[in-house]
Structure 1
């Protein structure tokens, strides 16, 4: 994998950046068993940038044969102990080296992430890549702090429990935060001593491939970390059905999550960890002492990353007595958001991932209005002259029976609903099949505590949105999935608990 020889500045030399990115993006082969390989079929698929719809490169379209090769490489590496039998200190050093290399190549990674996904370069530089690096460092540092336990026993017996790696982990990650979500799974799985086969989303493979090259340089042994590119219904399904994969760790849509569970059941009953969709509520009470901050969070809670966030606060519930005034504040924030070229450092709101996703968002805006919703802001495609996939921040006033109160849009569409009392707020907020994130804004400690109990979600934020980090578990209730990313809990899900009892002559 090529690398930039000197730092590049999109603000002053965009043509040079695009030329350099084109060089870095080739070749786009899969990484299996420590080698760059074409798909065995020779097939590829086109990879376009959402920025202007132009072709970036062609990605290896791996299928079941390539997945089998990758799983064999991963299993061989696991069984011969080249990684899992290393002392924890040695694995820690390698993962820290990987984090160091990711930091040294952070600009390259950020530029590739923006090229692949259309997200603003300011976010790739300040959020996505730094968080991916921090995740790698966190699990490098945590891996030698996982202890077993000794049980109470008779005098002639010693009983203890230890955490042992599962084996081969299949990680299937989404396109909205490609490298960040990949490292949420890859880093703890490697830290626990597993081998990994990573299947990035077909729309965003480049940073995963780049990090595979860095992993080799860091000292991750061949076969321990593999990246198999390809389409979900081919490479992803093959990974989920493989009889020698011990676990599938997935972030993505509910329908695909169900398919993965069926595949696991139809194959070897492999474990499945799912982080799925959301229809997250953000509740603003009239007693909120920081309405300007609440308005900022209401807007950015759904418009960040063009609304393509599983925890997007897509349902805004506002106490009726302040609703009109508060909505005006939210609209003012939304209007201030700068939509533009993702490579412009001043851009705050870039392109959607694909033409299909753009039309999905626009279609939901139409459906919301057909269901009686009142469009208050946006609702249109913009930047059409670029050829890219841009939808402006949009806001609709709806009622609880509107399609926008039920279905996940995964786009920059905010729905506003009124409530009259606390009980109604919680009832409306919980009236969804999802349960990923939720938030409440209030000056009352008593009400805040009641809200944390009442809201049915894996994440509850009070007087803030997305106010947590790698140290806290991330995952959902209900149809938002099960299993947790982040925190020490993520380490434990990539391990089995073995109980050992030794009887001896006392």
Structure 2
């Protein structure tokens, strides 16, 4: 099947018409079919665009998770996936990618409905990444080689990579499909069974995606999607002794708790991609200052600022501070805030009422410091749904809460520096180390800065760039390990050495 797709709907009326015929999942995807919680318990899912309940989803408890993990383990031992030839597993993933492309409108609409992302971003950005990454791993499946060290006269050494068994993946609400597909296809092509728990706010798109994976040929029990709360459902996965590895993207506090659960159970490896407070550093010699300014505004406004890599610390040389701030404020003021189902919308609601209130509380705290609010308000917009304006604080000090705490919303803190050493000091004055960016026309400075910044990702004269072939991960409280690329396979396989005397 071709990777092309008919153009996305272009009007709000077209998206609303599609919404009228949309089948919204209301069960878990378990052992190749839809299932409820054994207790019958459900939790409501609310659409951020208007605050309405759009689904009631099963609230899985420890007994549900035990049954699902046992099913996944049974599927692994059965071998119709784990012992399938790698090329055949890859072909199934490519068929899955084709089906996701075929259902792209439906999936983009589910994403916009469940977490408030503008549907044009869901269609053009998130779905493009999801489809491309699954296809990329499908094509990689038979190209990862084992090893046989040379030079042994009387012996033969083999180093093989083997699947681990049952992988648990727990993913957040801000990119419901992207951050799940950072993990799931890599675990699958390695031969594992996967139990995925999406965030309770946004499981709809991955539930539907799992059904499509089954249609593509992923056997029953090999990819299962469960729903429920972190303290109950997530904890049950963290403590389950038959989970071989747990991979998590989300908050630092929850990541720490999952490490505790692992220690309380079978000491399973826990791979963490956590929060961030990304520095975006602009020098006066940026090769295109207008582009640097536009990108700085985009880096805090895209996805309504709900990104672990959001450029929330804008660190600007004092000589261009006023120019940069004025330009960023102008760009943010011009954003079209509105219904995520309107293709004209550039900035949608926050993902939940609770999260909106938390972000507004941080703006209130910031306004009580010596920092000045150059744009925005600590009051919600007067409309249904969970909407706020972007906020910009200037005169922020490096140790202020505004510069240290991950707000996970559209709140930008502007700091200034006088020289390169001070820029590095401010950038590294953080418990986090995920994303970072440097704008300079000086090649040597670009290399010095990229080596000096304590982060897993450094973008030079750009922001949030990359492709499937490069790893994504952080340092310090931003976690460890890598998603994407060939390196994304490492946490889902075990090395085995076989030494044969000849």
Give TM-score scaled by structure 2 length.
0.97
* Structure 1 CA distance for aligned equivalents of residues 152 and 168 of structure 2: 41
> Unpaired runs of 5+ in structure 1?
1-6
* Structure 1 CA distance for aligned equivalents of residues 9 and 367 of structure 2: 45
**Alignment partner, residue 376 of structure 2:** 378
Q: Specify which of 323, 341, 344 is matched with residue 343 of structure 1.
A: 341
* Structure 2 CA distance for aligned equivalents of residues 72 and 185 of structure 1: 21
Distance 1:448 1:458, change over 3 A: same
SS at match of 2:182: helix
> Unpaired runs of 5+ in structure 2?
1-7
Shift of 1:20: 2.0
* Structure 1 CA distance for aligned equivalents of residues 248 and 169 of structure 2: 6
Distance 1:145 1:14, change over 3 A: closer
Shift of 1:179: 0.7
**Alignment partner, residue 365 of structure 1:** 363
Shift of 1:326: 1.5
Q: Specify which of 390, 395, 418 is matched with residue 393 of structure 1.
A: 390
Shift of 1:471: 1.1
Instruction: Give matches, 1:62-461, under 5 Å.
Output: 62-152=60-150, 154-385=152-383, 387-397=384-394, 398-461=396-459
SS at match of 2:458: strand
For residues 333-361 of structure 1, the C-alpha deviation after alignment (integer angstroms, 9 at most, x for no partner) is 11121111100001010010000110111
* Structure 2 CA distance for aligned equivalents of residues 249 and 285 of structure 1: 37
SS at match of 2:219: coil
* Structure 2 CA distance for aligned equivalents of residues 205 and 326 of structure 1: 39
SS at match of 1:282: strand
* Structure 2 CA distance for aligned equivalents of residues 158 and 340 of structure 1: 65
Q: Is the 8 A contact 2:117 2:303 kept in 1?
A: yes
SS at match of 1:384: coil
* Structure 2 CA distance for aligned equivalents of residues 191 and 283 of structure 1: 38
SS at match of 1:36: strand
SS at match of 2:322: helix
SS at match of 1:418: strand
* Structure 1 CA distance for aligned equivalents of residues 226 and 370 of structure 2: 45
Shift of 1:212: 1.3
SS at match of 2:320: helix
Give the aligned CA root-mean-square deviation in angstroms.
Answer: 1.3
**Alignment partner, residue 25 of structure 1:** 24
* Structure 2 CA distance for aligned equivalents of residues 178 and 315 of structure 1: 25
* Structure 2 CA distance for aligned equivalents of residues 447 and 379 of structure 1: 37
Distance 1:295 1:227, change over 3 A: same
Q: Specify which of 442, 447, 461 is matched with residue 463 of structure 1.
A: 461
* Structure 2 CA distance for aligned equivalents of residues 8 and 151 of structure 1: 55
**Alignment partner, residue 3 of structure 1:** none
Q: Is the 8 A contact 1:340 1:383 kept in 2?
A: no
Shift of 1:13: 4.0
Shift of 1:288: 1.4
Shift of 1:284: 0.5
**Alignment partner, residue 43 of structure 2:** 45
* Structure 1 CA distance for aligned equivalents of residues 237 and 212 of structure 2: 24
* Structure 2 CA distance for aligned equivalents of residues 70 and 9 of structure 1: 41
For residues 2-29 of structure 1, the C-alpha deviation after alignment (integer angstroms, 9 at most, x for no partner) is xxxxx966522454333223xx114x11
Give TM-score scaled by structure 1 length.
0.96
Distance 1:182 1:270, change over 3 A: same
For residues 296-316 of structure 1, the C-alpha deviation after alignment (integer angstroms, 9 at most, x for no partner) is 111111111000000001000
Misfit runs of 4+, over 3 Å: 7-10, 380-383
SS at match of 1:178: coil
